[in-house]
Structure 1
Amino acid sequence: MDKESGLILFLVLLLCHKGNTQSHNSCPYTCQCFTSVQILCADERMTSLPMNTSRQVKDFIVIKSAVAYLFPRTLEESPQLAKLIFLNNALRSVNSQAFEHLTELQELEISGNPWLEHLYLGTFSKQGNLTKLLLNFNRFKTVLPGMFDSLKQLETLQLKGNIISDLPPFLLLNLHNLRVLDLSQNKLEDVKGETFSGPTRLEILKINNNLISNLTSDTFHNISQLIELHLEGNKISKLVDNIFFVLTELKVLNLRGNLLTTFSDKVFGFEASNLKELNLKGNRLTELSSLSSLTSLTDLILCSNELSDLPEDLFRNVTALENVDLSENQLTLLPATIFNDLFRIKAIHLHKNNLSKVDAKLFEDQVLIQQLYLSDNQLETLPLGLLDPFVLQHTVRLHGNPWKCDCHMWYLHDWVLRNNQDVEMVDRMFCASPSFLRRRPVVSIDKDQLVCQVSKDDTPDLSSCSLQLSNDTVIINCKVDKCSPLTVKVQFQEDDRNVTEHILKNEPQCSNETMIEIPVQ
């Protein structure tokens, strides 16, 4: 735990036990005894540990004290301790024999000591029963070879928030039961394969927020049972082929915040069928190859990269996919069949790209979708039927696009009106054109206002029509070939951009000439 969360945890602990705090004759002065087996000492004036601790105590917690040194005999009268926690103290030195008598210890934390720069070899030599060791947010610059050799039952090892720049080879050789390793927020520059030799049952490995710049296929040698691998916040710019090949049980791979520009489809080898979550957010990816070997993948995070296009077969065989995040890239178009056969998808995030159009059948297989974010793109309209396949309650975001509110928007306009409860921030979905509708919310516009301006190429033959102006009256005289109804709309835009519209309908009269007189306002 970090400084803040650790302090909060113990404050909560204090509150929870406030009503149950017991007064024991053996409770040390300035400390609190919640029960006969649990002591908390939190006194900023305390410079040494109390010596009159009961032999019944199992959990001994010291936070925010002025204790600076742990000597060989400091804890010799408490061999029964199972949990010992030093959090946010002023420790400067821990003698190599300070814990020699604590052979029953199962959990040990020495965290949040800004002046503690190293531990001596042999410090944990008698802790064969230790399962959890937390050494976070100190000032450790290195870890000595053999430091953890005696901890054969250790399951959790945390060294985050130090300034460790190098790890010795075979550091974890004897940690066969290790499940969680956290080396985040250090200054590691390289990690060699020998470092992780030994812990074959490792489940979670965190090496985030360091300065690791490269990984090799040997890096993960002998930790084939790894379930989670966290490499976020480093400087990894390249992934060699088959680097994750041995990690056949891997379910979560987090590479967020590195410097990757691309990687081969051979990175995962052919044994990556158990991977369920792949996080590549915040890299520099410009291209991707097929992810077809990730047949169990459910969550794919590719946001905040530099992708401008995607291969058509990117998700081939990735039929378990449920959530895909492609937001905050530079995508301009998507292959029409890119989401084909992905029937389990629940969320597709495409916001903050440069999409100018999408294919009408892009989401035809996503009947179970619950989230579709298309906001903040360059879309002017959506094709007929695009949103019709969705059968479940869903959330759609469409704001932040330059919607063109003309006759081509009839489908989207109708859909938004019918499903406005499903459109988030629908009041921020504005028309960008034509000018007389600019900045108007789409939901505030009548369908009759969605008209298309006739371009020169589309202008019908009006040679049979004539215009005459008489005072304040415009006379339109058109000859028609057959009896047919005729509707004429005239719109007047005033200086304040207010628009008044006049609609005149002519019922068939079966004469070969129809004259309509429109008064000019």
Structure 2
Amino acid sequence: MDRGIKGGVLWTTLALLLVPNVSVEEICPRGCSCFSTGAAKCLGPAITDIPVGLPVLTNLLVMIQTEMHVINERSLANWDKLLRFSLTYSHLHSIHPKAFQVAPQLKSVKLSFNDLSTIPAGVFLPLSTLEQLHIDSNKLTIITPDMLEGLVGLQDLDLKSNKLSDLPSHIFNGLTNLTSLNLGRNYIKTLPPNIFNALVQLRNLSIYNNELESLESGMFDSLVNLVELKIHHNSISSFPPKVFWSLTNLERLTLSSNRLESIPEESFYHMPKLIQLTLYKNPLLSLSDQLMGFMPEMMDFYLYATNLTTVPGNLFANMSGLVALNLHHNDHLKDLPSDLFCCLPNLYKLSLRNNKLEKLLPHIFSNLTSLSILLLQENNLKDLPRDIFHGLSSLSQIDLRNNALKTISGDSLSLSSNATKVGLSGNPWNCTCNIRGLVKWIKQNEHLVLDREDVKCDSPVYQHRHTLWSLDEDVHFKFCDTIMTESYKTTENNLFETVALLTTPTTRVEQTETTSRAQDTTPQETTITATTATTTTTTSVITSSSTVTPSKAPSAHYNSDSFRGKLVLEQGPEYVHHNVLNGWVYVWFLPSDTVLTGFLMSLHILLVATAFFLILATLYGMHRLTEKMERLNAEYECLLEGQKTAY
């Protein structure tokens, strides 16, 4: 007996599993789709009321873009199994006060995107088990407590995108089981301080896109279970210091797009579970050192489009779990404290783009061991410390585009093996000797520099618009290691001077005095070595002295015979000219590029030939003009002779 029952149950279960979950159009009214799961969907302007002929077991009815403008007293009658009813995008404008008395079993009612301007008092009173009510995107101008009367089991209430401007303080007092409340996209200017007192179970509260000007003290004190609070896109200019302190379970807080110029001290204390905080698009002028409490779970922080010029060094010190930091688009942010990123071992993305940063301190990123994406584009960075990226073993993407960089060390860009992208274009690169390391790095990592065709020289003039990757070591940097020497003898009565001669624009002068100055009168032998280095100018004025500064040395000495001693200059890529003026030796360099020189010489010859041709043309024109004048004079004389003969 038992075995037979078990076998029957097994076969019945198997048969049910084999029944396909398909549309049952043959028993569904026109304009609707019915499904074996109990769901039905009706669509189109031909539908003016709930269609007759729907399966009696329908538990979910969705009606979209219909011509059902009124829910009358009997619309929902005879649907005992119906649990979820949705009528949207149908220009619904009226609900009969007794419309839901015939369907007290409903769990969900959605009347979104209609034309409701009012709701009858007590219309939802029979729906004591209703869990979800959406009346968003209508034309409601007022909500009173009796409109929501009887909804003791309601958990989700959506009133967004209406025309609400004022809410009574006890409007939500009967909704003690509410977990989600959306008041966004209305015209609310103020909220009573005790309006949320009854909502002890609330987890999600949205008041975004309203006209709130301030937050009242204590208004969130009862929301101890709140997880998400959205109050962005308002006009909030101030709030009490401890207004968020009771929200110890809060995980997401959005305060962006308001009018905050400052934030009270300790505003974000006692929020250990906070995961996301947004403060962007506020005209913030400064932030307090005592602003952020213990936030080890924080993962996303947004602080952009403000008026901040700097930020406190400890701003992120309590956010050890931070993964993404968006500190960009701050038009006045010029300076970052050295310890700002001290305590972010899990940071994956750091965005500092579109600020006004002019420099970065050497070890500012040294503790970001997990950093993978670093965005520094659109700043005013003029230089980068040599080791600024060292130790960032996870760094795979770095963007340095559109800054004021003239050169950086190739060693600075030694990235990890999983590097994918480096942006370098839009900088005024100075393609003298100092750029050699970067050029070499680009050639070795062409696959990383995706914008390499736009990474171009800005100076010197003869390199302008050349791409860095096209510069050749043997051609463009062949004289960078040239060493020149100058030796001469001098006596005790003469000053010891050194004139540094350069083979590239600006060099570092290393002086080595082989024999120190003695107090006797014997001549001293001195050897000076000038070694080229990689810096960036096109004209140099160099004078140095080992004992007396040039400004104090008499100018007559530079015209002395000892100064005009033997001068040895190794052949280099520049023509050198120098002048002596007021005790200073001015050394001028004219680049001698072979192609450029040939072009200039050809241009000179062309100009001379053109001038010669113009002179010949002028002489020929004068000759022809003289002949013409002589012919005219002869004709004139003949005319005069003819007139005399006639008389």
Q: Secondary structure at the match of 2:133?
A: strand
Match of 1:277 among 300, 318, 341: 300
- Superimposed CA distance per residue, residues 76-110 of structure 1 (whole angstroms, 9 cap, x where no aligned partner): 22232121111211111223332233333222211
Q: Which amino acid aligns with 1:280?
A: L
Using structure 2 for the length normalisation, give the TM-score: 0.63
Partner of 1:4: none
Aligned to 2:301, the other structure's residue is in SS state: strand
Instruction: Say how many residue pairs are matched.
Output: 465
Equivalent position to 2:567, from 458, 464, 472: 464
Post-superposition shift, 1:146? 5.4
Q: 2:453 maps to what in 1?
A: 427
Distance change in 2, residues 1:458/1:206 (3 Å): farther
Q: 2:540 is matched by which residue type in structure 1? A: K
- Runs of 5+ in structure 2 lacking a partner? 1-20, 273-294, 481-503, 507-538, 545-562, 577-590, 602-647
Structure 2 CA distance for partners of 1:174 and 1:101, relative to 1, 3 Å:
same
Q: Which has the higher contact order (CA 8 A, sep 6+)?
A: 1
Q: What one-letter code is carried by the residue in structure 2 that aligns with 1:453?
A: P
Instruction: Note if contact 2:410-2:439 (Cα within 8 Å) is conserved in structure 1.
Output: no
* Residue identity matched to 1:49: I
* Cα pair distance change 1:98/1:424, threshold 3 Å: farther
1:82-141 CA-to-partner distances (Å, cap 9, x unmatched) read 21111211111223332233333222211111x322323323323333333322221222
Q: What is the TM-score with the length of structure 1 in the denominator? A: 0.77
Cα distance between partner residues in 2 of 1:268 and 1:134: 32
Aligned to 1:369: 395
Aligned to 1:195: 195
Is the 2:300–2:325 contact (alpha carbons within 8 Å) kept by the matching residues of 1? yes
Q: Does 1:98 align with 2:150?
A: no
Measured in 1, the distance between the counterparts of 2:265 and 2:418 equals 34
Displacement, 1:65?
1.1
State the partner residue of 1:8.
none
- Over 3 Å counting, the alpha-carbon distance change for 1:99 and 1:433 in structure 2 is farther
Match of 1:252 in 2: 252
Which structure 1 segments of 5+ residues have no match?
A: 1-18, 469-473, 477-488, 500-521
1:406 matched to 2:432? The reply is yes
Alignment of 1:501-516 (within 5 A): none
Q: Partner residue of 1:479?
A: none
SS in 2 for 1:420: coil
Partner residue of 1:295 out of 320, 342, 357: 320
Distance 1:74 1:370, change over 3 A: same
* Residue equivalent to 2:126: 126
How far has the Cα of 1:464 moved from its partner? 0.7
Say which of 313, 323, 329 aligns to 2:349: 323
Q: Separation in 2 of the partners of 1:84 and 1:341?
A: 55
Aligned partners of 2:248 and 2:270 also within 8 Å: no
Distance in 2 (alpha carbons) for counterparts of 1:31 and 1:496 = 85
**C-alpha distance in 1 between matches for 2:143 and 2:225:** 25
Q: Is the 8 A contact 1:223 1:247 kept in 2?
A: yes
* Cα separation, 2, equivalents of 1:367 and 1:417: 21
Shift of 1:51: 4.1
Q: Which residue is 1:59 aligned to?
A: 60
On the 8 A contact 2:250/2:271 being kept in 1, the answer is: no
Letter of the structure 1 residue corresponding to residue 324 of structure 2: D
Deviation, structure 1 residue 158: 2.6
Label 1:343 to 1:434 Cα distance change in 2 as closer, same or farther (>3 A).
same
* Displacement after TM superposition at 1:216 (Å): 4.4
Once residues 286 and 124 of structure 1 are traced to their aligned partners in structure 2, the CA distance between those partners, rounded to angstroms, is 54
Match of 1:80 in 2: 81
For 2:29 and 2:358, locate their aligned partners in 1 and report how far apart those are by CA, in whole Å. Answer: 69
Distance in 2, matches of 1:293 and 1:265, equals: 15
Deviation of the 1:58 alpha carbon = 0.7
Closer, same or farther: CA 236–42 of 1 in aligned 2, 3 Å:
same
- Please tell me whether the aligned partners of residues 292 and 315 of structure 1 are also in contact (alpha carbons under 8 angstroms): yes
1:516 maps to none
* 1:351/1:374 contact within 8 Å kept: yes
Q: Out of 102-111 and 235-244, give the one that drifted further.
A: 235-244
Are the aligned partners of 1:21 and 1:32 in contact in 2 as well (CA < 8 Å)? Answer: yes
* Per-residue CA distance 1:250-285 (angstroms, 9 max, x = gap): 333333333344435622115442333223344444
Task: Work out whether residues 260 and 284 of structure 1, in 8 Å CA contact, stay in contact via their aligned partners in 2.
Answer: no
User: Which residue number corresponds to residue 515 of structure 1?
Assistant: none
Residue 491 (structure 1) aligned with residue 516 (structure 2): no
- 1:132-183 Cα offsets, whole Å, 9 max, x none, are 3322221222332354464444443333322222333244445455444333
1:346 and 1:368 in contact (8 A); partners too: yes
- 2:144 maps to 1:144: yes
RMSD, aligned α-carbons: 3.7
Say whether the 8 Å CA contact 2:396–2:421 is kept in structure 1: yes
Aligned-residue offset at 1:456: 1.6
Could you tell me which residue of structure 1 aligns to residue 469 of structure 2?
443
Q: Secondary structure at the match of 1:414?
A: helix
What are the Cα deviations for residues 172-216 of structure 1, in whole angstroms up to 9, with x where unaligned?
445455444333322232344433333344333333333333334
- More deviation, 119-128/235-244: 235-244
Q: Which amino acid aligns with 1:491?
A: D
* Structure 1 residues 317 and 201: alpha-carbon distance in aligned structure 2, compared to 1, 3 A threshold: farther
Matched residues in 1 for 2:95 and 2:78: separation? Answer: 17
Greater helix content? 2
Name the structure 2 match of 1:7.
none
Aligned partners of 1:216, 1:406: CA distance in 2, in Å? Answer: 62
- Cα distance, 1:364–1:94 mapped onto 2, change above 3 Å: farther
What is the Cα deviation at residue 391 of structure 1?
Answer: 5.1
Structure 1 residues 353, 141: closer, same or farther in 2, change over 3 A?
A: farther
What fraction of aligned residue pairs are identical, expressed as a percent? Answer: 26
**Alignment partner of 2:505 out of 443, 453, 469:** 453
The 1:475–1:436 alpha-carbon spacing in structure 2 relative to 1, beyond 3 Å, is closer
Partner of residue 231, structure 1: 231
